[in-house]
């Protein structure tokens, strides 16, 4: 859904066996990320459903089995659709984007830096959807840590233009499907160096079941 809306996402495939996970991981010349796929599990890491930096076919096979075993132990009632396999991505600045459907104002889009900035400092900005590129840029510039995105301590700037375009795309998705989507959480979305774009590494969409 995010990709169709214009939000760049990391490439991935879903495996239904350890051997299939190995074949998928073989396609990328990098360590793999593996995550449980289940609509019943919103917070994958809480149930041991995430493995990072998996190197080699044996490690992929073990990770597949470990994920399923952990999930079965901690959430035996969950319907599991498989295990997502994606290439590990490093570099850039971790950001967060989200949507919350306010009962009065409708869909509200949030932006901030990831990690400590959102968890502890609550350094985020909000706008009503939909909005244009100028509004998206103002959201980025409004957070206190915006200097990190524009380049600080000798680091080059992140791709601000791509961040703004992605926020606009997210706002349009939120508005166009405002009666169907309850919330969206894209965390993290990686802001790569200027000219290299952005990449959503993980996302959760909660639908309005009463719609």
pLDDT number for residue 75? 96
CA distances in angstroms from 162 to 108, 114, 135, listed in the order given: 20, 17, 14
Question: Which residue intervals of the chain bear CATH 3.30.470.20?
Answer: 93-207
Supply the CATH classification number for the domain 93-207: 3.30.470.20
Q: What integer is the mean pLDDT of 63-87? A: 97
CA distances in angstroms from 29 to 20, 32, 34, 84, 111, listed in the order given: 17, 9, 15, 17, 32
Question: Which residue intervals of the chain bear CATH 3.30.1490.20?
Answer: 2-87
pTM for this entry: 0.90
Supply the CATH classification number for the domain 2-87: 3.30.1490.20
Looking at the chain, the whole-number percentage of residues with pLDDT higher than 90 is 88
Q: Which residues of 94-122 are buried (b: 16+ CB within 10 A; e: fewer)?
A: ebbbbbbbeeeeebbbbbbbbeebbeeee
pLDDT-based confidence at residue 29 (cuts at 50, 70, 90): confident
């Amino acid at each position: 859904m995010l990709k169709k809306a214009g939000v760049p996402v990391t490439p991935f495939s879903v495996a239904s066996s350890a051997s299939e996970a190995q074949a998928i991981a073989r396609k990328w010349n990098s360590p793999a990320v593996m995550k449980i796929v289940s609509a019943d599990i919103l917070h994958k890491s809480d149930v041991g459903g995430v493995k990072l930096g998996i190197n080699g076919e044996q490690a992929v096979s073990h990770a597949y089995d470990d994920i399923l075993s952990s999930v079965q132990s901690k959430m035996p009632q969950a319907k599991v659709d498989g295990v997502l396999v994606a290439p590990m991505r490093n570099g850039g600045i971790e950001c967060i984007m989200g949507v919350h459907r306010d009962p009065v104002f409708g869909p509200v889009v949030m932006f901030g830096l990831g990690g400590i900035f959102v968890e502890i400092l609550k350094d985020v900005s909000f706008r009503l959807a939909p909005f244009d590129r100028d509004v998206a840029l103002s959201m980025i510039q409004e957070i206190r840590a915006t200097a990190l995105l524009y380049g600080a301590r000798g680091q080059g700037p992140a791709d601000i233009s791509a961040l703004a375009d992605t926020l606009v795309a997210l706002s349009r998705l939120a508005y166009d499907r405002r009666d169907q989507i309850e919330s969206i959480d894209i965390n993290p979305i990686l802001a790569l160096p200027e000219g290299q774009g952005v990449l959503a590494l993980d996302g959760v969409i909660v639908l309005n079941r009463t719609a």
